[in-house]
Structure 1
Amino acid sequence: MKTANGQEVIQLFESWSPKKLACMENDPIGLAIGTLNKEVTKVLVTLDVNEEVADEAIRNGCQLIIAHHPPIFRKLSNLRTDTPAGKLYEKLIKHDVAVYAAHTNLDVANGGVNDLLADALQLENRQILEQTYSENLMKLAVFVPDSHADRLRLELSKIGAGAIGDYDSCSFSTDGKGRFRPLEGADPFIGEIGEIEVTDEEKIEVVFPPSIKNKVLKAMLNVHPYEEPAYDLYTLAVETDQMGLGRVGTLNEPMTLEQFAKYVKKQLDVPTVRVVGDKNAKVKKVAVVGGDGNKYIHVAKRSGADVFVTGDMYFHVAQDAQSIGLNIVDPGHHVEKVMIKGVTQKMMELCSQKKLSVQFIESKVNTEPFTFI
């Protein structure tokens, strides 16, 4: 195992939950306080950052905090240390504790907040509730001499090019003749200076997600024997990596709304829930959005969900849900605390794969502001 710096830790985090997945305008994600340019041996994972969490990080010797809710949500016009927020920022800076926030990108990421909530509710046949992100597939078409075609196909498949659904190593080849004339100064793999050369070549075509474009080009250039490989690069209309907010899935066995509300309390570890709908209504298909899901009631209804699990439900939105026949179970915003264990486990796994010696600590501070009586 080797030591890591903050940049390495966050690069691993963003390989799983990249910033590009953020779906809220001006979402203040990323490094909020401090620097990542330092050695990191301990990381505290938390839902929120308050003074008690800061003290917990300092007490545990953490150099970095990964939080879901950004500690600086709006632009600062000043930084006064005689305010509660200013005191918090001062304490973190004085103790050299950096804070990195992953907000809506962590909501959208596969295995992120919404998947963790769906896991807790044991939802099956799971799908995205609302798509917020996708990429268009790209295609490489490269002309290569027959002698190097098989090796090129192999190297491209190793880095993920040619993966389509449940298949990999997918490609299409066309045989043809390549023609060229090497000029003075060239060092041709085939042919003579000043002479037209005609050689047997294959046109190899593979598709790949744009996230690996640089790797695809590097692999192609490393294998290709020509000084100046001939290739085309296209962006296709076919979408890939469709991701989004919320999840919708089914329960193993149907329940009444009352039974389901009690189930949510238990599975999400909350003292109470608010319910909209007939307590005897049958529940089988469930939509869930972590945090505030008020604007998704119609999306949830269109998904065919019998019940929508989300927090911070407004009075009039609850009435709207009732009018369209959508049952609601509101366990509060704080259920997003599931990310603490989820992020900890994921980052331990990623760091172990890279043989990085980093300890991830689950915050024990309860940042729920409400007391239920």
Structure 2
Amino acid sequence: MDLDEVVSRLETLAPPSLAESWDNVGLLAVSSVPSAVRSLLLTVDLTEGVLREAMKIPAQMILAYHPPIFRPLLRLGGSTWKERVLTGALENRVAIYSPHTALDAIPGGVNDWLAGCLGEGSRKPLSQSSWDTGRQRVDIPLPGGFDLKPMIARLLELQGVSIMSGSSSPGTRLSLSCHRSGVLEALRVINDYEEVRSSVEIVGLVKAPLPGTGMGRFCRLTNVSPLSEVVQMVKEHLGLKHVRLALGTGRSLDSSVKTAAVCAGSGGSILDGVEADLYLTGEMSHHQVLDAVSRGTSVILCEHSNTERGFLPHLAALLAPLLGPEVSIHISTEDSEPISIV
């Protein structure tokens, strides 16, 4: 399959617009003469071992969940492992794509998979994603007694302009929703009314929430279980023998878990301040754990990529019908969490 077509289909599954603003997602590296994609290798981290594995397959593309290009690179050569990975991929015409937090955000993505270890219950994003509607909001503060009818009649004649709210009571305002192309036309009408034209505000883009989409998950469990059982459920789901546990103040292993806040990877900033019986994530800073514990919230830490890697088989199943028989999908056997508890 042509590389551009593969990228287009990957972006259909996890649109880059859903990624966090600090993230670096999408097609990150490709040679000047890209190869058609016959084999795709899935990994969490793109290491030298994973690159060697890709070349043995051989794979023409690597989907690395964590972006291997994140902080600015000052040079490309062979002095560091990351430089060797990137130059090696380019020299062997292996393209690199990263979905990262876009894949976290989607319904059925990494965070929903991780939350699945807690059993049945309701889930909602901790941070709601939204989409750009292509419209802007224009607010017009109104003086008392201002007759809105003539201006509204003219505004409604414009294409792409609709009235969101408005009255002529003192201290209120008229709010318009305008397509970008209609903003200037609306302003031309408003400018004819001296009482209001000097106070018009273009508030910004109107965004609509995307249900079930966003960072992290807040889970309200159907079957309330003691913390000791939840710990075992997490271990089984992630295939781990050990996890790290911090008991919330006044809590014990027998304490019931009714609510949980979940975030794959490094969840400290997403989970911060969320009221829940339990936080489940890969890693948090020492002081973030202390803050949670002080509020009576217990914390399970599984190490960063242990909360993500188990999603790769599910990702392969999602990609198979999307890419069809033209592209064979492989899951890295070299990829692993670098930290173990001994």
Q: Would you identify which runs of 4 or more consecutive aligned residues in structure 1 move more than 4 Å?
A: 235-238
Q: Which residue pairs with 1:83 in the alignment? A: 80
Say yes or no: does 1:263 pair with 2:259.
Answer: no
CA contact (8 A) 1:24 1:104 kept: no
Matched residues in 1 for 2:85 and 2:12: separation? 29
Counterpart of 2:218 (choices 241, 248, 253) is: 248
Matched residues in 1 for 2:207 and 2:66: separation? 34
Code of the aligned partner of 1:30: G
Code of the aligned partner of 1:267: H
After superposition, what is the alpha-carbon deviation per residue over 1:96-137, rounded to whole angstroms, capped at 9, x for unaligned?
111111111111122221112123443422211221434448
Q: Which residue pairs with 1:282 in the alignment? A: 256
CA contact (8 A) 2:128 2:210 kept: no
After superposition, what is the alpha-carbon deviation per residue over 1:200-243, rounded to whole angstroms, capped at 9, x for unaligned?
xxxxxxxxxxxxx9xxxxxxxxxxxxxxxxxxxxx996824242
In the TM superposition, residue 17 of structure 1 has moved relative to its aligned partner by 0.5
Say yes or no: does 1:325 pair with 2:296.
Answer: yes
In the TM superposition, residue 66 of structure 1 has moved relative to its aligned partner by 0.5
Q: Which residue pairs with 1:364 in the alignment? A: 333
Q: Which residue pairs with 1:193 in the alignment? A: none
Q: Which residue pairs with 1:300 in the alignment? A: 274
- 3-state SS in 2 of match to 1:300: coil
Matched residues in 2 for 1:71 and 1:253: separation? 40
Counterpart of 2:56 (choices 54, 59, 62) is: 59
Matched residues in 2 for 1:282 and 1:120: separation? 16
- 3-state SS in 1 of match to 2:83: helix
Matched residues in 2 for 1:129 and 1:109: separation? 13
What TM-score comes out, normalization by structure 2 length? 0.72
Gaps of 5+ in 2: 136-178, 180-203
Matches within 5 A, 1:18-167: 18-25=15-22, 27-35=23-31, 37-136=34-133
Code of the aligned partner of 1:250: R
Q: Which residue pairs with 1:341 in the alignment? A: 313
Change over 3 Å in CA distance of 1:24–1:122 after alignment to 2: farther
Number of aligned residues: 269
CA contact (8 A) 1:47 1:339 kept: no
- 3-state SS in 1 of match to 2:6: helix
Q: Give the superposed CA RMSD.
A: 2.4
Code of the aligned partner of 1:270: L
Code of the aligned partner of 1:286: A
CA contact (8 A) 1:126 1:250 kept: yes
- 3-state SS in 1 of match to 2:274: helix
Matched residues in 2 for 1:269 and 1:123: separation? 20
The sequence identity of aligned pairs, in percent, is 30
Q: Which residue pairs with 1:231 in the alignment? A: none
After superposition, what is the alpha-carbon deviation per residue over 1:3-46, rounded to whole angstroms, capped at 9, x for unaligned?
x1111111111012111111132x22122222484311100011
Matched residues in 1 for 2:69 and 2:24: separation? 7
Q: Which residue pairs with 2:147 in the alignment? A: none
Change over 3 Å in CA distance of 1:17–1:59 after alignment to 2: same
Q: After alignment, is 309-318 or 35-44 more displaced? A: 35-44
Code of the aligned partner of 1:108: A
Matched residues in 1 for 2:118 and 2:62: separation? 28
What TM-score comes out, normalization by structure 1 length? 0.67
CA contact (8 A) 2:35 2:93 kept: no
Matched residues in 1 for 2:129 and 2:297: separation? 23
Code of the aligned partner of 1:367: S
Q: After alignment, is 28-37 or 13-22 more displaced? A: 28-37
CA contact (8 A) 1:129 1:299 kept: no
